[in-house]
Structure 1
């Protein structure tokens, strides 16, 4: 089974809580605060494992929650940071944020890492809040919540050479003839519904990965047939091999077939037009194949054409040597395929007025919206008097109190920040 798309949920570990503690030692009166900080929560990290070939594991496990950091201890002992949660993915995995569509990473090399959900910072113990005015603060922070998000994973096959062509032109037979791969071979259209990979070894000892990609049809760039399910895998290949049925078994025209396939590739991505390509003139063991080959070579004299037969293995050595030569000529730094234009890492920075918070009225409540203030609510322990005073002080410093008054807030009105609702007090 080939699974090349998956939707999952990831959450970084919450930070550990800081604690309130004081030194309790003999002969040390008024020892002062000694509460330790909480440890940082773990990140969720994707790591490429070249032993994986599909995303099938994500069909059975869709939720990944990293462990939380350890709480702080007495005597200024800090909680331990949690170990990162490692999630293995196959080479060729693209990662996007499901809600925003933002491109997060393209994982191609074995061992490559991508942090997809960061763990929260550990909360500070009361030692951190000691001042000259308040030498024994009775407050500590809760740990910061870990980042959480929904992700869309997409696997694009990584292969050196991709076989492209209409259904039933013999791509699977060719793959089986030159590798140990055993794709499904049948005398009907769309025998291959998912990419098949095999490793080729040439007579002179060179090797490369060959992919049998599902057959396309006219209109594939618009999503017809297997459409984009096929074309996105072609983007990963370094060399394209057009497999053309020269015997016209299904009444097809070899010249027209090549034109249609080239149009579909270029219409999907203009960069594919510059990809190295050769033509495998297949089924040369059948009647009328020589006539079809002659017409094809006359129509495309600039192309390098290799007469072959996947069934009888005719001409395969010459084809494989040529493909190995082309791959040797491709500079190593240019071999990784550039992904879609919307996946580039270029960033444009614009000067924007930052709004620290917004206030809106809903029913009988004033709702204050701010990521920073909502995080502050989560990390504040409202059972601690000093923590409540600090929270009120921060709201005043941020200008929230004045903004609420301008919006008409009065004594006793309900104010909501995140999950916390409290009364407005003058």
Structure 2
């Protein structure tokens, strides 16, 4: 069954490539990137390396329907761009950039300092990642500031920084220093690797999104991209080995481990919960609002929001064996949130809606080329690039990036779209 579905996805990818050639567009459409990722997932899963658990055909079909619906949605979004008022994009102001960066630096220095103290005492990066989080984020205030501000703002400023490297007439040093600082302090805080992945994705996507004329007038850009990608690869390998993991095994399970884990979690969900309609998929926006209303005016958090929190925390907290020697958590694919909300129909419908927004973001970027449209496009590419892990907007760490984007970019309305 998985081989047949893989063949269908490969054929779909081939058709998509023909469309790209016909339309004379580049290879940074979210549909192309999404298909590459999910073709790899299905093909790698079919290899059954490390004796990975097999899943029933019904689970594979759900994932396949989600993938196809997402790509169809992207194609619709690219063709029928969501109408919106055109904005005069002034870009992020220097004052806003430095204020946000300064506050981010204070929080990250505080959290990284705690981690450095643990490392100097002999604690490994693996322990910091899995057992010492309470010691790193050692107060309620630090925990809130880190998760609700530092993480999403760090992601947003990385997008801004990498995008600035491709702009002519701008000094690059401050953006390079900022990116390195955010990456290093974030890694020290959580011993995570995905921030490295995001930086590499941004650099490569922007490299292919720009025309060759830019590189003729600004040849250093190619050098920056090469250095960024090499540094990210070296950083990923170092962190992985330092945490005591095998690099190849990690890459393999990162990609296709979501298949058996998704199967495990939908079975657990079906036995313990009812569907949550839209609250799981948009938890990243809904939960911060309910928490703020609860803290400041005493409005109780709706029970369905707490149920969703339990469901999503279960993904992180309850580790499962997806192979005899592979303990796994976290990577459940973006389709899990859709399934939690509305079952198989939710996987099809919400995948289609998400695809439409991703395709529209790409179309806006191509047509408008404003800084804000470019940053939002990078956010949607980031959402696509973690589709094997979770739905972007189900996590407030990611969803608040969009909120901060709207806050930081000044604009004036125009009549056209």
Kindly indicate which of the two structures has a greater share of residues assigned to helix: 2
**Under a length normalisation based on structure 2, what TM-score does the superposition of the two structures give?**
0.22
- Higher relative contact order by CA 8 Å / sep ≥ 6: 1 or 2? 2
Kindly indicate which of the two structures has a greater share of residues assigned to strand: 1
Larger radius of gyration: 1
